[in-house]
Amino acid sequence: MQPRATRDPAWARWLLTAVALMFLLFFLVLPLAVVFSQALEKGVGHYLATIREPNALEAIKLTLLTVAIVVPANVAFGVAAAWAIAKFKFPGKSVLTTLIDLPFAVSPVIAGLIYVLVFGAHGWFGPWLIAHDLKVIFAVPGIVLATAFVTCPFVARELIPLMQAQGTDEESSAVTLGANGWQTFLRVTLPNIKWGLFYGVILCNARAMGEFGAVSVVSGHIRGVTNTMPLHVEILYNEYNIAGAFAVASLLALLALATLVLKSVVEWRQAGVP
Amino acid sequence: MSIEAHGIRKKFGAFTALDGVDLHVPQGKLVAVLGPSGSGKTTLLRIIAGLEFPDPGSGRILFHGDDVTDIPAGRRRVGFVFQHYALFRHMSVLENVAFGLRVRRRRDRPAPPAILERAHRLLELVQLDGLAGRFPSQLSGGQRQRVALARALAVEPKVLLLDEPFGALDARVRKELRRWLRRFHDDIQLTTIFVTHDQEEALEIADEVVIMNQGRVEQVGTPQQVYDNPSTPFVYQFLGNVNVLRAPALATALRPGGVAAATQEGLIYVRPHDIELAPHDAGGPGLSAIVRHLHAAGPHARLLLEQVQTREQVEVEVSRSELSGLNLKVNDLVRMRVRQVRSFAEDFAI
């Protein structure tokens, strides 16, 4: 029970709760409900047909492929960067810390443009890439690069404060007990950060699946080839295939919901761990 | 195994943590490195362990005469106990103790059942076998400390290094645990260095005390030597209460036959229990002082006196019976004499 002095009057508590709930209802629950109702508007048969349509299947495959490359790459980068920043002193540490945040500060569209300027036909490496018959822009590599750029802070950001709070004493004692660097990481550091890492992976995964702006710039919107799920939704929508657009969108929404459930489970586990 | 350090220097940026430290710890001794925070004692301990390295070209660390300066921590066979225990929080107590054996190379590693048996035996040694399945967060501070000790002993170290081993414990547990450590050391006879800022702790259990200040060793000796014959004003002040007085005032206060070490201009150091009190009209040598404060709880009475001539404040400790014989009250006049003083040239001043 809270002390009386810091307790708000009943009407204030009810009002604040009501405002928050109304907000949630209008801005989160309602749109989600609309997505699913619109998706199923023309019946389950049409819904399944839209999803089974080859271009839609290709978009789903491409999104999953991107996630399968980007998330592990970001886990490797994030853990390495967080480990370096939290456990060691080195020149340029603050620069690295700032750089990790850069993708959060830059608009995704600009992130996409950067890759066009670097790897596009008229970009720095454009002629060289064309000469060697390699395609980055308007192809899968560009999509992966743009997604990786946008999602790169998630894992590192999650781990740095956690690892800083844990300090280096446990690692030091592992070292005095004869553990080598790899054993120290696997047996001491990793178990201590596993829930934070998992949380970072979930967030990174959600963003990688949903990324629109950066991917839109580099993809070229070639149907069945360089369309990810969010881009496919846009195309269907622009063609007035509302039910189709919402059907694919509902898949993304389902993935998001699954991610949220996982996230709550992880948070609950994290709270339970000493 | 003996430990030697020669001319160790260590800078962290502009801060000099160690400024040419020499240390010799004989085989099987329990040595306390004592100093205020920032004196470099923990850095010295970490350098001995191999967790830090001395500045390039500055000094050597020898174990049993062998140079180990360039050998990494993992191969020095050092048991290190951290101030905040640094137990592996995701492992049970038993697994914490077993860790050092589990990470050994395959050909040196005992079979899993043998590892567990060893870990259990070490937990018995520190009287914690009943808690093998617990996690560190479920233990009290004193229990965690002993787990950390068992874990350090599991790798059969040749030396044991303890960083503020009792620093994070409450006063009663601390007292118990340090006596336990002394007995434990007598049983296992392992060369041990422990770092502390608590002079009482160091003087009570160490065979030898190394007193450090500002990155240098001030004095080395047995507890009695350093307490009775402090070699610098710092040591004198650091080991117990002391009054620092200007000399001329006290020159007349020396008891006949007392230690006449006072010089005309040097500072004089007097411990509160080295001053005796007499009735003001007693005559003979001594100085007049006014009783400003009287604190008689506990085994000894503590008085704060103000010297009449110089208005210097002097802390005095006398037995309760001596005090009741004098029948003193606040603002009474009293005569004080000094049993033992020690003076240092003024430029030694702290």
Contact with chain A for residue B51, Cβ under 8 A: yes
B79 confidence band (pLDDT: 50, 70, 90): very high
Q: Which of A87, A168, A176, A194 to mutate to test the interface with B (most CBs of B within 10 A)?
A: A176
Least confident of B139-153, B198-212, B252-266: B252-266
User: What is the spatial distance between Cα A56 and Cα B345, in angstroms, rounded to a whole number?
Assistant: 91
Identify all chain B residues contacting A187, using CB atoms and an 8 Å cutoff. 88, 99, 102-103
Does the distance separating the beta carbons of B154 and A177 come in below 8 Å?
A: yes
Does the distance separating the beta carbons of A172 and B80 come in below 8 Å?
A: yes
pLDDT at position A212: 86
pLDDT at position B297: 80
Question: Is 90 exceeded by the pLDDT of residue B298?
Answer: no
User: What is the spatial distance between Cα B166 and Cα B202, in angstroms, rounded to a whole number?
Assistant: 11
Q: How many beta-carbon pairs under 8 angstroms link A with B? A: 71
A2 confidence band (pLDDT: 50, 70, 90): low
* B-chain residue closest to A194, CA distance: B90
Identify all chain A residues contacting B78, using CB atoms and an 8 Å cutoff. 176
CB A85 within 8 A of CB A162: no
Does the distance separating the beta carbons of B90 and A191 come in below 8 Å?
A: yes
pLDDT at position B310: 78
pLDDT at position B350: 38
A96-148 pLDDT per residue, tens = 888 888 888 888 888 888 888 888 777 788 788 888 877 777 888 888 989 99
Does the distance separating the beta carbons of A192 and B99 come in below 8 Å?
A: no
pLDDT at position A66: 92
Selecting from B49, B103, B148 the residue whose C-beta is nearest the C-beta of A178 gives: B103
In the stretch 123-182 of chain A, residues with CB closer than 8 A to chain B read 169-170, 172-180
Helix, strand, coil % in chain A, rounded to nearest 5: 80, 0, 20
Identify all chain A residues contacting B89, using CB atoms and an 8 Å cutoff. 170, 192, 274
Does the distance separating the beta carbons of B90 and A192 come in below 8 Å?
A: yes
Whole-angstrom CA distances from A4 to A7, A11, B314 are 5, 15, 52
Contact with chain A for residue B121, Cβ under 8 A: no
The total of other beta-carbon atoms located within 10 Å of residue B346's CB is 13
Look-up: residue for tokens 């790897």?
A119
- Complex ipTM, two decimals? 0.77
pLDDT at position B191: 93
pLDDT at position B277: 86
Selecting from B79, B89, B152 the residue whose C-beta is nearest the C-beta of A274 gives: B89
Query: Listing from the earlier edge strand, what are the strands of the sheet with B60-63?
Result: B15-25, B3-12, B60-63, B66-67
Q: Which of B105, B109, B190 is nearest to B153 (CA)?
A: B190
Residue type, A134: L
pTM higher than 0.90 for the full model? no
Selecting from A174, A175, A274 the residue whose C-beta is nearest the C-beta of B135 gives: A274
Look-up: residue for tokens 């790899």?
A182
